[in-house]
Amino acid sequence: MSDSWVTGSDRLEKAGLTQKDIKAIREGLEFGDGTVEKRLIRVKPYGSVASKIIK
């Protein structure tokens, strides 16, 4: 999940975020200041959840 994937194809706009939140995410990714964290969330067949931070 690259930064360009996150911000491409209007993904943030389609996610229903406010313009303020979209701007904050884009700026956080651009400056790499740690304010944005990308996570992969998987829900397993029996309901358990696994989360991994993607660098």
Of 17, 47, 51, 23, the C-alpha closest to 35 is 23
Q: State the Cα–Cα distance between residues 1 and 36, nearest whole angstrom.
A: 13
Q: Which pLDDT score, from 0 to 100, does residue 50 have?
A: 95
1 versus 44: the higher-pLDDT residue is 44
Q: Which pLDDT score, from 0 to 100, does residue 32 have?
A: 87
Q: Which domain holds residue 30?
A: 3-54
Reduced to 3 states (helix: H, G, I; strand: E, B; else coil), residue 42 is: strand
Dihedral angle over CA of 16, 46, 42, 13, nearest 10: -10
pLDDT at 55 over 90: no
What domain count does the chain have? 1
pLDDT at 41 over 90: yes
Residue 49 Rama label (left phi>0; alpha psi -120 to 50; beta):
beta
